[in-house]
Structure 1
Amino acid sequence: MSKRAQASPSTSQPKRAKFASDQSSLKTFFGSSPRLTAPPANSGGRNNLNVTEPVREQLNVELNAKKIATPDIIDLTSDSESTFRDCGSDNDTSAAAPRVGDVGGSSSSGVALPSPNTPSRRIRIMKNDVAASPNYQPLGVDLFVYDVQESPWPANEPAPYSFLVHALATLSGTRSRTIILNTLTNTLRALLNWHRPSLLPSLYLLSNCLSPPYSSVELGIGSSVISKAIQHISGLTSSALRRLYNSFGDPGDVAFEAKSNVRTLVPHPPLLIVAVHECLLKIANSKGQGAAKQKQAIVEKLLVSAKGEESRYLVRTLSLNLRVGAVRTSILTALARALVLTSQTSLGGPDRDHSPYHATSQLISLVQPPAAEGKKVSDPAREELHEKFIQAEALVKKVFVQHPNYEHIVAGLFNGGLGSLELHVPLTVGIPLHPTLGSPTRSLDEIYDRLGDLPFTAEFKYDGQRAQIHGERGVNNGNPSIHIFSRHLEDMTTKYPDIVHLVKCIFREQPQLQSFIIDSEIVAIDPSDGALKSFQELSNRPRKDVEMSDIKVSVCVYAFDLMYLDGEVLLTQPFRERRSLLRSRFPPFLPSDKGAGRLDHVESCESEAGKDAIEEFWQKTIKSRSEGLMIKLLSGGAMQEDGKRKPLPATYEPDKRTSAWLKLKKDYVVGLGDTLDMVPIGAWHGNGRKAGWWSPVLLAVRDPRNDCLVAVCKCMSGFSDLFYKEMVAHYSEGSDNCSRQPLWETNTGGFRPDVYFRPHKVWEIRGADITLSPVSLAALGLGSSSRGLSLRFPRFIKTREDKSPEQASTTDFLAQIWKDQQGQSKATAGDADDGDLVDVEPDSEGVAGGAEDSDG
């Protein structure tokens, strides 16, 4: 797709986090902000915001001074034919941005913009209140209380952006999963009933993205463009805007307050959802000379037409940080529920009375009103609908993880409804599916305890970059179509021309081969003998648009799974069969062409060889350059879990962390030290020789229950002097990555850092053990009802360049390590980590680096 520190462990929990966001703040434009002794009370994500009185008084002084110095005038166009679809066009290289309060005529897209060829007239700004949002129904109510038959906007008209903003404001004001799902579901139901062309752009805007993750479309707008646009349309000075930012911290809140002082005599037509999405795409497609001016012109035109809360969420969208609790799974769940409650015949499918996924009007009419809080009422109709919800949600999520493209999914739904969605949106070569992920384990004994006598294979876990390789024989002159995707589904085909050449050679060698999708690990090797090299060697390669002649680091593709072959989807086949096909159809291959990549299979050992063979293979792993082992079930069966037999298929499960794939890293094994993937979210000013550096650094793990990052411990060990300097440069005060106020949605518990970091990095951390803590709130309730968990003697190992905060270690994992420890030695109260550390001298370890997990 508020950011406040908690005053104490007993205070209310923070809002949900959006981990993958790459927020751009206004700080780059404003420069460093003065030190604040405490976060302001009125900042972050709230819908009703007021500037603190001293700031407001100063702003009024500046505005009054401005009015005395210059006439209160704005430019207005008289051209009523201009349309917003032309905003920031390539022909408009002058970037004729509107002055304060520019007003254009009406447009089919619902946004007015000035025509540069039309004479303008000058009028005075009118002082009045911010236009109120339309009186929409509450969206967070029960699905059967919300009246979807009542048109939210005038019938037969496009959906206004204010309706989507109404949904976003509702989402930002709650942490309740029920209200979040109700809000999203009711929003999508209204769009399905009253303006379906707005459904697709709404899904993207709610997800805080513009296109599928594998596309090259990026907003590419800097914080300076946003801040200049706000300053231009508001008429505020940079110092006044800086004070607003110091008071609120969030760019969206700043835009809302700044825009509240802008008034025009001629009202603008309302912004439309479709038009806003089109303009964002126009910003993303603005390239070359003058692109920054074109982007700023579009932003200004959007903001001029925005009313009330619209300006807040427009800027948050532009900053890639909506600050609402709607994650991908919630959006897919809501889409499925909305479809269950929408007429199937109106979607182009069969009558919903004959569809297992859709609710009949009779069933809906039998649903009782929601029971009062604390009371349970038997409602068979609601329970039957709940079962339909579960089926529909599973279907939509299954299709999405195999084909993550909202445009194709929406088209499939409109062409045949839920019943034929898999048929219309199948697994497709050239569109990446989400990879299967492995579950961490701590020892070979634990693996045998979990899998018992089920047959498995142990594979080298290479220190490289996971790659999903798609190949399809072309129909034009036999030229194949080849794509290489990362574990995050990003297209990195141009990064590896040597692998593209390898696949072309494979197609030439195998005339019968038509298409395939392979899961693999790309590893740097010594071209002379094929010896493995480190991930750091691989990371030295350029990231895109690489030429074969420029390649200095040779690679090998270590294939370990086959998901698709010659038109057949293999996901439901047992791993033993998939691996057999992989080895027979794709044998090791080394092209004769200089510089071409090579293909090989992962080195492995079968459990049928006996425990001694597996143990010997493990010892070989420890001595090698690999990260550890991947244990993969060869055939389906059942495993022991909490004294029960749990079915365990050996199928390929996209986007699931399955127990059929177990990850045994060297650092996870008892006796070698625990490691966690943690996110730096704040820091304190260093003392002594570390003055001027950040030390210690506050680290967090992911709390999947509350969709946020929660602080665990401070870390000041394992960093080199060079790394400290690089950290200061990256997290410099006044940059997009560092703030004196908690701008990002994290739960810091009882920790009070001097500054807060944008949570976008992941570090691998090793610690002595897990302890109860009176300061940390991590895993509160999982290990103890009154204390969270912390990591004793944390030590930085390396940067995980391959991981985003969404892939960080979880509170569940933290709690499981703690519980495992309790079986070995009882923790005492004296072991509690109070968060205070003794500063130590840095050593030679800790250079920035990373490693791509083969499993995630």
Structure 2
Amino acid sequence: MRFSDLSIYLQKLEKTASRNEITQILAELFKKSTVEEIDKICYLVLGQLAPNYRSIVFNLAERMMLQVIAKAYGRDIEKVKEIYKKVGDLGNISQKLSRSYEGSVFSVTEVYNHLLEMAQDEGQGSQERKIEKMADLLSKLNPLSSRFVSRIPVGKLRLGFSDKTIIDALSWMETGNKSKSGVLEKAYQVIPDVGLLAQKVRKSGIDQAVKNMKPEVGVPILPMLAQRIKSTKEMIEKMGLVFVEPKFDGLRVLIHFKRGGQDDFVKAFTRNLNDIREMFPELTDIGKYIDAKSVILDSEAVGMDPEMLKLADFQTTMRRRRKYDIAQKAKDIPLRFQVFDIILKDDKNLMDIAYSKRREILADTIKPNNLLVIDEKILTDDPAVINKEYRERIAQNLEGVIVKKADAYYVPGRTGWRWVKMKEEESASGKLTDTIDCVVMGFTVGKGKRAVFGLGQFLVGVKDGDKFKTLTKVGTGLSDEEFKKFRKQMEEYKVKDKPKEYEAEKIYTPDFWIDAKFVVELAGDDLTKSPTHASGFGLRFPRLVGFRNDKAPEQATTLKELQKLFQMQKM
């Protein structure tokens, strides 16, 4: 397929707001693609070059892309900057300045390979080489192609859909509906690579493509997540015999290990599929604690406060994610990994084995040590036992308990009544029974002292399909220093117009919109029905609990979960 033809589809997608129409446009596009190029098309329409977990990034800031555009079209850099201030979009500038119509000769694969080569260029002088190569590519593309290609290096393609829509489109391509989206999504949860999945579907059809999809060491799996139920009596009614385990305020980490020759293979993935292995030097020698050739372990990384001889809070633990002074941070904030599940052992898939059996396998796999610590557990079908265990864990300054169905399989995502979290009791505090993870959609500059920071309140929303819908504005919970820091972080993601995946009434229009990048954890007194917020709900007295850098926007609280929370507070 020629890249100019792909650009026509990108333009259609950009102009379309309907999720169903987007799905059908993608299905038509996929039908016209070959097996060899469909994976590349999937990545490109998402504004990427690879699945998220491979972390292939350009490291080209917008100011550098302005240099690229000036060089590509022989324009003065100051003039380009001036246009950018008015237009606010790199794609619009490129399309406006482009005069070349030779782009039709480039195939999708050729453009993709050019971009991949640039992204992987490292070392001394790499930035200059990237600018040179990117300018050369843009100068040879037609105006419409340059519109979309110039946005990709800075992560601002913004077509308003996610991997989930591509999964629906693959089903539509074969069946003319979304009837096979479920089986495709199950396969994607095990190997979260839409490009690879699309290639398999294009080659042999959906039924064959999803066969034998199993976890692999080195490829992150989407983690299993807990539901919410307010009553312990209801927990037992829905789940029967359960394990009750402590809930730690840590960072969810899936540890991948494979025994090698001289060096063992070790990876550590967060719940949003980022590889943060380099931030955990402790994991280098974990082979001595593992009685297996290969494992995938599910765990919670919990920081320790050496001075207070107790567990650190989440924000302290998250300081370990810094990219610099890692060795010093490891000394300042030592970690232990609370291991509670095993997904693979010796290359055998354990996902379809009962949790009680997986716990037995886990106990046989991890040798006693102080780094990989297996969670304590109680097996019960008595609501009173759950309540007692919960109160004891709260007294220990833990978050509460996780209640797990004893015979549950490992099912990625938040489905069914397999895991349930029990945190703050509403009866004890009169507050909302759980926190809400929201996406920051925009911000106001503030008045008075806040005007100095350039940040008064930020607008947040919850996820509903591929959309983010407003819930509340937040202006409390941050220190002055944190306000300044967050304002600086948001600057890079400011956009001129409201992103097409956002739903917000005009009265909530912020001074600046930002791309969906930041997830924050909010507490509040209660949820209320709202006729003005796009989610249909408002949050009374919202307070920022912390930044959830371990979560992607796609993992924010969903509207369906919000509706459950609303129902629970009335019980």
Distance (Å, rounded) in 1 between the aligned partners of 2:192 and 2:266: 18
Give the secondary structure class of the aligned counterpart of 1:430. Answer: coil
Aligned partners of 1:191, 1:415: CA distance in 2, in Å? 11
Give the match's secondary structure for 2:40: helix
Are 1:713 and 2:497 counterparts? no
Contact 1:736 1:758 in 2 (8 A): no
TM-score, with length taken from structure 1 = 0.61
Aligned CA distance change for structure 1 residues 685 and 470 (closer, same or farther; 3 Å): closer
Whole-Å separation in 1 of the counterparts to 2:443 and 2:246: 37
Which among 442, 446, 449 is matched to residue 689 of structure 1? 449
Conservation of the 8 A alpha-carbon contact between 1:225 and 1:295: no
Three-state SS of the structure 2 residue aligned to 1:711 is strand
The partner residue of 2:10 within 165, 168, 172 is: 168
Structure 1 runs, 4 residues or longer, greater than 6 Å off: 527-530, 545-550, 667-670
| 1:506 aligned residue | 289
Aligned pairs for 1:429-444 (under 5 A) are 429-444=217-232
Task: Please state if 1:539 is matched with 2:295.
Answer: no
- 2:529 corresponds in structure 1 to 772
TM-aligned CA deviation for residue 576 of structure 1: 1.2
- Which residue, 320, 335, 339 being the options, matches 1:559? 339
TM-superposed CA distance for 1:274, in Å, is 0.4
Give the Cα separation in 1 of the matches to 2:473 and 2:201. 49
> Do structure 1's residue 700 and structure 2's residue 460 form an aligned pair?
yes
Alignment correspondent of 2:294: 515
Q: Can you list the C-alpha shifts for 1:567-614, whole angstroms capped at 9, x where unaligned?
A: 321111111111121123324324xxxxxxx12111333324x33322
The 1:701–1:449 alpha-carbon spacing in structure 2 relative to 1, beyond 3 Å, is: farther
Residue of structure 2 equivalent to 1:746: 502
Aligned residues: 567
Shift of 1:819: 3.8
RMSD over aligned Cα, in angstroms? 3.0
Distance 2:267 2:113 in 1: 27
Q: Percent identity?
A: 25
Q: Distance in 2 between matches of 1:653 and 1:694?
A: 44
Does the residue aligned with 2:219 lie in a helix, a strand or coil? coil
Residue 105 of structure 2 aligns to a residue whose secondary structure is coil
CA distance in 2, matches of 1:283, 1:730: 26
What is the Cα deviation at residue 653 of structure 1? 0.8
Is contact 2:161–2:501 with CA below 8 Å preserved after alignment? no
SS at match of 1:687: coil
| Greater share of helix | 2
8 A Cα contact 1:241 1:258, kept in partner: no
1:254 aligns with 2:101: no
Q: How does 1:3-42 map to 2 (within 5 A)?
A: none
Alpha-carbon distance between aligned partners in 1 of 2:198 and 2:562, rounded to the nearest angstrom: 39
What secondary structure is seen at the aligned counterpart in 1 of 2:189? helix
Shift of residue 280 of structure 1? 1.2
- In structure 2, relative to structure 1, the CA distance for the partners of 1:200 and 1:680 (3 Å cut) is closer
Amino acid at match of 1:773: S
The answer on whether the counterparts of 1:463 and 1:625 sit within 8 Å (CA) in structure 2 is: no
CA distance in 2, matches of 1:684, 1:545: 32
1:350-361 equivalent positions in 2, closer than 5 A:
none
Q: Which residue of 1 aligns with 2:269?
A: 485
1:574 corresponds to: 354
Q: Could you tell me how far 1:616 is from its partner in structure 2?
A: 1.6
Q: Which runs of 5+ in 2 are unaligned?
A: none
Distance in 1 separating the partners of 2:283 and 2:440: 35
Q: Which residue in the other structure is 2:50 paired with?
A: 211
Query: Does 2:502 align with 1:723?
Result: no
Asked if 1:654 corresponds to 2:402, the answer is: no
Q: Distance in 2 between matches of 1:711 and 1:406?
A: 28
Aligned ranges for residues 35-184 of structure 1 at < 5 Å? 159-184=1-26
- Check 1:606–1:186 CA distance in 2 against 1; reply closer, same or farther (3 A cut): same
The 3 A distance-change label for structure 1 pair 531 and 771 is closer
Give 5+ residue unaligned stretches, structure 1: 1-158, 342-384, 591-597, 636-649, 780-788, 825-856
Q: Is the 8 A contact 1:494 1:545 kept in 2?
A: no
Q: Which secondary structure does the structure 1 equivalent of 2:413 belong to?
A: coil
In the alignment, structure 1 residue 524 sits paired with structure 2 residue 303: yes
User: Given that residues 100 and 139 in structure 2 are in contact (C-alpha distance below 8 angstroms), is that contact kept between their aligned partners in structure 1?
Assistant: no
* Match status 1:462 vs 2:248: yes
Distance 2:93 2:428 in 1: 50
Deviations 1:292-351 (A, max 9, x none): 11111121122111113111111222221222233102212323443x37xxxxxxxxxx
**3-state DSSP of counterpart to 2:266:** strand
Distance 1:306 1:462, change over 3 A: same
User: Contact (CA 8 Å) 2:438, 2:461: kept in 1 or not?
Assistant: yes
- Alpha carbons of structure 1 residues 484 and 685: separation in structure 2 relative to 1, 3 Å: closer
Q: d(CA) in 2 for partners of 1:712 and 1:411?
A: 38
**Partners of 1:728 and 1:168 in 2: CA distance:** 32
For residues 313 and 360 of structure 2, what CA distance do their matches in structure 1 show? 29
Q: In structure 2, what is the equivalent of residue 300 of structure 1?
A: 135
Listed one character per residue, the Cα deviations across residues 810-856 of structure 1 (whole Å, up to 9, x for unaligned) are 223333333444x46xxxxxxxxxxxxxxxxxxxxxxxxxxxxxxxx
Cα deviation, 1:364-408, whole Å, max 9, x if unaligned, reads xxxxxxxxxxxxxxxxxxxxx75xx634x4443332221234565
Q: Is the 8 A contact 2:445 2:511 kept in 1?
A: yes
Structure 1 322/293 Cα, relative in aligned 2: closer, same or farther at 3 Å? same
What CA distance in whole angstroms lies between the structure 1 residues aligned with 2:238 and 2:119? Answer: 49
Could you say if the C-alpha distance between residues 232 and 183 of structure 1 is closer, same or farther in structure 2, counting changes exceeding 3 Å?
A: same
* 2:390 is equivalent to residue 618 of structure 1: yes
When residues 663 and 701 of structure 1 are mapped into structure 2, their CA distance, relative to the original with a 3 A threshold, is farther
Report how far residue 520 of structure 1 moved: 0.9
In the alignment, the residues of structure 2 paired with residue 406 and residue 745 of structure 1 have an alpha-carbon distance, to the nearest angstrom, of 20
Among candidates 383, 389, 403, match of residue 191 of structure 2:
403
- Deviation of 1:546 after TM superposition, in Å, equals 7.7
Q: One-letter code of the match for 1:427?
A: P
Change (3 A) 1:269 1:324: closer
Q: Is the 8 A contact 1:718 1:796 kept in 2?
A: yes
Determine the C-alpha separation between the residues in 1 that align with 2:422 and 2:329.
Answer: 36
* Cα 1:744/1:758, change in 2 over 3 Å: farther
- Identify the residue that residue 120 of structure 2 maps to in structure 1: 285
Whole-angstrom distance in 2 between the partners of 1:686 and 1:216: 35
Over 3 Å counting, the alpha-carbon distance change for 1:321 and 1:772 in structure 2 is same
Taking a change above 3 Å as real, the CA distance of residues 689 and 269 of structure 1, as seen in their structure-2 partners, is: closer
Q: Distance in 1 between matches of 2:520 and 2:90?
A: 28
Question: Could you say which residue in structure 2 is the equivalent of 1:585?
Answer: 365
Looking at CA atoms only, which structure, 1 or 2, has the larger radius of gyration? 1
Q: Are the equivalent residues in 1 in contact too, given 2:463–2:558 (CA < 8 A)?
A: yes
Q: What residue is the counterpart of 2:400 in the other structure? A: 628
Q: Which has the higher contact order (CA 8 A, sep 6+)?
A: 1
1:803 Cα deviation (Å)?
2.0
Deviation digits for residues 232-271 of structure 1, max 9, x if unmatched?
A: 2334444543453344322212221222xx368xx56622
Task: For 2:201 and 2:560, locate their aligned partners in 1 and report how far apart those are by CA, in whole Å.
Answer: 36
Q: 1:624 to 1:423 in 2, by over 3 A?
A: same
3-state DSSP class of the match of 1:723? Answer: helix
Selected match of 2:163 from 328, 331, 345: 328
Partner of residue 216, structure 2: 428
Is the 1:574–1:651 contact (alpha carbons within 8 Å) kept by the matching residues of 2? yes
Of the three residues 776, 786, 792, the one matched with 2:540 is: 792
Check whether the contact 1:740–1:754 (CA below 8 A) recurs between aligned residues.
no
Pick closer, same or farther for the CA change 1:548–1:567 going to 2, 3 Å. same
- CA distance in 2 between counterparts of 1:663 and 1:327 reads 27
Task: Mark the CA change 1:422 to 1:668 in structure 2 (over 3 Å): closer, same or farther.
Answer: farther
Q: List per-residue Cα deviations over 1:657-708 (Å, max 9, x = no partner).
A: 4421112222777735223222332333333333323554133222414x22
Q: Would the alpha carbon gap of residues 424 and 622 (structure 1) be closer, same or farther in structure 2, given more than 3 Å must change?
A: closer
Checking the alignment, whether the CA contact within 8 Å between 2:338 and 2:375 is kept in structure 1 is: yes
Contact 1:409/1:425 (<8 A) preserved: no
- SS of aligned partner of 1:255: helix
Equivalent residue number for residue 372 of structure 2: 599
Residue 271 of structure 1: which of 81, 106, 110 is its match? 106
Q: Secondary structure at the match of 1:760?
A: coil
